[in-house]
Structures are given as C-alpha cells and as structure tokens.
Homo-oligomer: A and B are copies of this chain.
Amino acid sequence: MSEKQSADASTLNLREDSRPGDREGIEAIVTATGFFTPAEIEVAIELFDERESKGPASGYHFVFAERAARLIGYACFGPIPCTQHSYDLYWIAVHPETQGRGLGRAILAAAERAIRERGGKRVYIETSSRAQYRDTRGFYTRTGYELEATLRDFYAPGDDKAIYSRALSPTD
C-alpha cells in the first residue's frame, strides 16, 4: 500500500448528503453499539427513510462520518416545529470499534455547524437516566450541554428522561 493510499484510508470524511449503503451502515452501527432495542433501531432507520423519501421537508438532516468509504458514525437532527430556532439532535451514534477517539465529538461539532448554518441557535438532546447511558450523559456534559430538565419515569418506571440543551454561539 502506498503512503498516499494509507493517508486516504485514515482520513475522516464528514458529509451531509447520503450515499448508497448508508441505510445498511446506520443499521450496522446502531446494532453494533448494543445500546438500542429492536424498536429503537427501527426508529433510527425510519428517520433515514423519511429523509430519503421526503428530502429536507422531512425535517431530518444527517451528518455521516466515514473513513475509507466505510460509515463509522452519524448524527440525525432537525428543526423543532413551531419554534423559532430550536433544533433536536435525534440521534448520534459511533461504531463501537471506533469509539473513544474523538469521533463522537467531531460528528457532534459537524451537526452543530450544520444547525448554525440553518439558523439554529439552541440544540436539545434527550436521553435516558439509566446507568447504561452514563457515558453518553458524560459526553454531552463535556461537549457543552447542560442538563436542563429531568422527567421522572418518562420511558418507564425508574427510567427518567434527561433533557440537555446548549445555546450555540455564532462563533463556536
């Protein structure tokens, strides 16, 4: 393998447009994390399908992260209807083989950049209070998100919803 090929293979490519294979890539990533129930995996794929069939009118936007033409992470976000400039980050996932190398942070930053470009000023992220999500919550706190509210027993008895938010500054 020449040096040039080696460099290409390790380059992280972040893009907003989908490519063939992304649907399978998303399914592979969310399944591999071991975090999500079959129903949640189905929702993840539905968001992608909605976007593919309706375009931006779906209200869903994506950031895809790939390395050597392989999808290794992604985020899905969109404007919250009836708000002036609030966005939901619906999903962010990184393949477990590539976690812990700043990839989640890079995808989140790319999503925030795309939100800001669309006029978004606040980002909301919802997650579970379960122990399983401790690292996830720590990730949001480290990346500038504030725990703004907790809804008790939202997902199930003993499983609260934690709502994180961040106000984007124009210079972020």
Is A86's CB under 8 angstroms from B148's CB?
no
How many residues of chain A are within 8 Å of chain B by beta carbon?
27
From A10-18, A19-27, A102-110, A152-160, give the one contacting chain B: A152-160
Is A39's CB under 8 angstroms from B148's CB?
no
From residue 80 to 104 of chain A, which have CB atoms closer than 8 A to chain B? 80-86
Interface SS of chain A: strand
User: Is the CB of A51 closer than 8 A to any CB of chain B?
Assistant: no
User: Is the CB of A113 closer than 8 A to any CB of chain B?
Assistant: no
The distance in angstroms between the C-alpha atoms of A63 and B92, with both chains bound, is 36
Is B82's CB under 8 angstroms from A39's CB?
yes
Contact of A149 among B80, B81, B122, B150 (CB under 8 A): B150
User: Is the CB of A43 closer than 8 A to any CB of chain B?
Assistant: yes
Measured CB to CB, the residues of A under 8 A from B are 37, 39-40, 43, 80-86, 122, 124, 148-157, 159, 163, 165, 167
The distance in angstroms between the C-alpha atoms of A155 and B84, with both chains bound, is 6
Is B86's CB under 8 angstroms from A154's CB?
yes
Given contacts A43-B81, A148-B152, A149-B149, 12 further A-B contacts (CB under 8 A): A39-B82, A80-B154, A83-B155, A83-B156, A122-B153, A124-B154, A148-B149, A148-B151, A149-B150, A149-B151, A149-B163, A151-B163
Point out the residues of chain B lying under 8 angstroms from A37, CB to CB: 82
